Chain A
Amino acid sequence: MEEIWNGVLRAIELIATLNPEVLEITARSLLISFSAVFVAAAIGIPLGALIELREFGGKKALVNLIQTLYGLPTVTVGLLVFLILSRSGPLGNLELLYTPTGMVIGQMILVSPILIGLTISALKGVSPQIRDTAVSLGADESQLIRAIIKEARFAVIAAVLIGFGRALSEVGVAMMIGGNIRDYTRVLTTSIALQTSMGNLEMSMALGIILIGISMILNLSLSRFQGR
């Protein structure tokens, strides 16, 4: 129990004194996960809209598959991307293993199903009348997609934030692809794992509290946003 309380105090101390290492690790975590979610959203949201709008054979199976992949084990994604980016893998010559870019790719794969799937769910909620109106006003497919995404924007933004939360809190990809290299690929979650293995339980707890704090700020901003 002592560690939890001391961890809280340590977390406050680290934040209050603007501990440079913690700030750097936190900034790196945010930047990598933000990049991953940005790319995943840029692809996943339009893709989700297309899947929702178009009718085609096997659509139900595809949606089922996407939803199943919400729970993709992070270590499995890490292993998959590792094998692809490894020196002896197909993209080995790009030298992306143990780099922040490699981590972005891994996290992007991890959160893409969530973004695609939750976009599909979000757009399902848009009243068919709005679709019909848009089409009757002569909207082509891309205009229609934009119109219904705009209509379901709160749910879509929620999807993005959920994806961001997953990317920020995962450790499998970050560890296997990033390699937890200090000053380069070390992020909050891999630091937590490292501090725990070192037996520095208070420091580990403090970093965990910082991570929870970030998630809380994200959620608060989401609910404010939705409240409007």
Chain B
Amino acid sequence: MTLPWVTGSFSRMKHARLWVGFISLSLLFSAACTSKPKEELPNTLRLAQRGKVKGLDPIYADDTYAGEEVSRAYEGLLQFHYLKRPYVLIPALAEAMPEVSKDRLTFTFKIKKGVLFHDDASFKDTGGKGRELTAEDFVYSFKRLADPKLISTGWWLLDGKIAGLNEWRQDAQKKGVADYAAPVSGLKASDRYTLEIKLLSRAPSFLYSLAMPFTSVVAREAVESYGKDFLNHAVGTGPFRLMEFSSNSRLIWAKNPTYRQETYPSEGEQGDKEAGLLADAGQPLPRADRIEVQVYVEDQPMWLTFLSGKLDLSAIPKDNFQQAITPGKELSRDLSEQGVRLVKSPMLDVTHYTFNMSDPVVGKNKYLRQAMSLVYDSGPLIELFYNGRALAAQGPIPPGLSGHDPKFRNPYRQFNIGKAKELMVKAGYPGGQGLPPLTYITTAGSTERQMTEYAVRVFDTIGVKLQIEAFSWPEFQQAVRNRKGQIWSFAWNADYPDAENFLQLFYSKNASPGPNDSNYSNPEYDRLYEKSLGLPDGAERTAVYRQMVNLLVEDCPWIFGVHRIAFGLVQPWVKNYKRSDFHGASKYYRVEREK
């Protein structure tokens, strides 16, 4: 065979090889073009993660993405009821809610019997079959959270709370290695199925910690067998088993065939029955056979995949909001006709501008802070940056938590430029005269830039000038923790459904580099905060919370921004979907595609 246009030194053999190569390449590409995605099970959920999943070790599950994925494979003692609101704690691996001692310091948990870890090669004694969970596994898992070498991001949950645990940690620090055999007085497996936890002081929010991914139980065999690679494996007792994990691409989960007997809830809140959320009551969990999670770093591909019906749940990207939602904040006709459902639910969060209270200018001048708060109008902010998906925040506690008063109106959050100008006079800066530009620190993203421009314009109306300093995210965090800058924007999402999680942000002992980054310090506030820690959830504690909020309103260490409202889209074939602020809801979802 000779190509007509080639002459000279190429041999016939070379031509033949060229042709073979060319044909092989063509075949490979045509195979690639025609290869179809693998057959998927009918009850397969296809979910999106909007960020990379950095690992599956529970002690590092400090972001939404890792937390959600960890909760598919791992479980803790407690969990949140899927349907009830406000959120209610119920047992997960605990047989029942704990027995609490009279002094409310000791919690005794009975562990469910017969719960098995996922089958895994690390269980050598059982030939790869998952062994039974015991109370000792919790002791080990909590110690792991405290192990200084592991630098867990969840240690704050137990720090200073369990008797003897901090001493165990200090001992490990001194010796350079943790001794897991050493006892901890407040953490004891009194028998195979009984776990006793003794607290140092009363902490009603402690039980919430036991429903967070950080405190999930892990098997020592798996941790030791995989070593550093443990974070790429998932050997828990949870409803799904890990089949494939690529931290920045996708995760595949399959129903755990040895999952304990747990059923779909048979009661919820008002309206759940009408919404079809109780149709599966009493059915065994998990409801789905398989979950395919795709990581979407960018919004456009996620949105297009949802529109093409290959993604089951989706948030609405800012740029696609008008395509999906009408001006009346309802679902567009196109999507409604496809059977897509819009689910709106308020989030447990608050956005805010933080004043650096340790700064001699803004920190010492209450009138200046109040004036700036008065002029920062939430209305345009909500429309411009949240597409109307937010409520103006009047204080730090979001709706849905004890202590939030829906009737309360913060006097310094009602837009009033006249009053703001009067306060500027009282502050000693009439019309902003004599006030040096305030250093406003921010991150360098496009939305942050737009919000900064908005802030510059708003504060300029009362003569307050901002000097902008933009940083990368780590630099920004460093600046905040090191008390640089005078004002910045931030948001706080609830770790657990208790107002204490928001109010601790103003406790002086949590000042920077702790979570109280405004460095607010008010002895009266501290006293009330400490008092609230010893009170159970109820009217008395709520009254204390309100006093604390009143102090914050008057002192104005933050300009309260908004509580966001989540708008989610659900494909018609997804059953039992109800938005949750916490992890672990996917075991309730089911897929029922029309045949």
Are A and B part of the same complex? no
Task: Name B's A-contacting residues (CB within 8 A).
Answer: none
Give the interface of A toward B (CB within 8 A).
Answer: none
